[in-house]
Amino acid sequence: MTDPPEVQAGGPDPERAEVDAAVLLLGAGVTAATHPLLYVKLLIQVGHEPLPPTVGMTMFGRRVLYLPGFFTYAQFIVKVDGKAGLFRGLSPRIVSSIISTVVRGKVKQVEHRSKKDDEQNSLRKVFRETSYEMIIQCLSRVATHPFHVMAVRCMAQFVGRETKYGGLLSCTVKIFKEEGVTGFYVGFVPHVLGEVLFLWCCNLLAHFINTYAVDESFSQALAVRSYTKFVTGIAVSVLTYPFTLVADMMAVNNCGLVAGLPPRCPVFNSWLHCWTHLRQKDQLFRGSSFFFRRVPQKAPPP
């Protein structure tokens, strides 16, 4: 039996279209469900701590001060803005998610085709696939970063109770009028650098572990290898987190919002200036944890 003419000719496949639509809807749903987490994380990243710390105990019995965790912080947002307030800045993130899902779908197609070649475990294959992923990721970031900037600024308005940034159209007009095209790409460089570094470290680490650390004679070798990339991804994401923090800080910095202006935050000349400032204050991992956040201890004067 031959395929329908439209499939043979490379025409649209109804089943494939339904799957793609389902993936897009699933991605948008996950984005909406996890948005409160990202919202609280962003407020912590910009240094907004509206609630006092509480006294707690470490596992060794030492008394320390803990900053509010995710649930306490989220309850505070609900108290101020209602439950809908937890979804401030969601629409730009959904648009960004849709674009990113489409791009990643293209990457999966290439990965599926590459699995058919004979270089299953070669380093050359890893370099080729990672290079392609890097190009796709950079193109995806170019397309989605303007929406990321909009989302970050919408969420950061909570700090100063501003209403400067609203819907997608008003955000676009406001940013373009005040900052031009470059305003949509503030924080772009550290974000891309972090993602590229994550890709290369994760893929190379997974390759070396699967090749040299997992013994072929081990009965569960295939199962272990299937999870290697996931585990290395978690470890590498911790190391590349400062790039994400700096990118989000730069997206808010000096845009007219209280969260990005003195005295809450100095005006940075570049993302390297921001990185140096955070490193000097030992804050490069601010916002990386939602729970058991200790109050930073001030270094003693020299």
> What is the tens place of the pLDDT at every residue in 178-212?
999 999 999 999 999 999 999 999 999 988 887 77
The answer as to whether 9 is a domain residue is: no
Percentages (nearest 5) of helix, strand, coil residues in the chain: 70, 5, 30
pLDDT single digits (tens) 107-144:
565 555 555 554 555 888 889 888 988 988 898 999 99
Give the model's confidence band at 274: pLDDT under 50 very low, under 70 low, under 90 confident, else very high.
Answer: very high
In a domain, 185, yes or no: yes
DSSP conformational letter for 268: P
Q: Judge whether 251 and 183 are in contact, CB under 8 Å.
A: no
What DSSP state is assigned to residue 50? Answer: -
Contact call for residues 41 and 287 (beta carbons, < 8 A): yes
Q: Domain range holding 226?
A: 16-294
| pLDDT at residue 158 is higher than 50 | yes
Tell me if 11 is assigned to some domain. Answer: no
Task: State the Cα–Cα distance between residues 188 and 126, nearest whole angstrom.
Answer: 26
Say if 8 falls within a structural domain: no
Indicate whether 118 belongs to any domain.
Answer: yes
Residue 2 lies in a domain: no
For the segment 238-268, what is each residue's pLDDT rounded down to a tens digit? Answer: 999 999 999 999 999 999 999 999 999 999 9
pTM, full prediction: 0.84
* Distance, CA of 167 to CA of 186 (rounded, Å): 19
Residue with tokens 């990243």: 45
- 10 is a domain residue: no
Q: Which two tokens stand for residue 148?
A: 């990321």
294, β-bridge pairs: 66
Contact predicate 183/250, CB 8 Å: no
Mean pLDDT score, 146-152: 96
Q: Distance between CA 180 and CA 150 in Å, rounded?
A: 14
Say how far apart CA 82 and CA 36 lie, in whole Å: 13
- Check which CATH number belongs to the domain holding 201 and give it: 1.50.40.10
Interatomic CA distance for residues 275 and 186, integer angstroms: 14
How many domains does one find in the chain? 1
Q: Is 4 inside any structural domain?
A: no
Structure tokens at 200: 């290369």
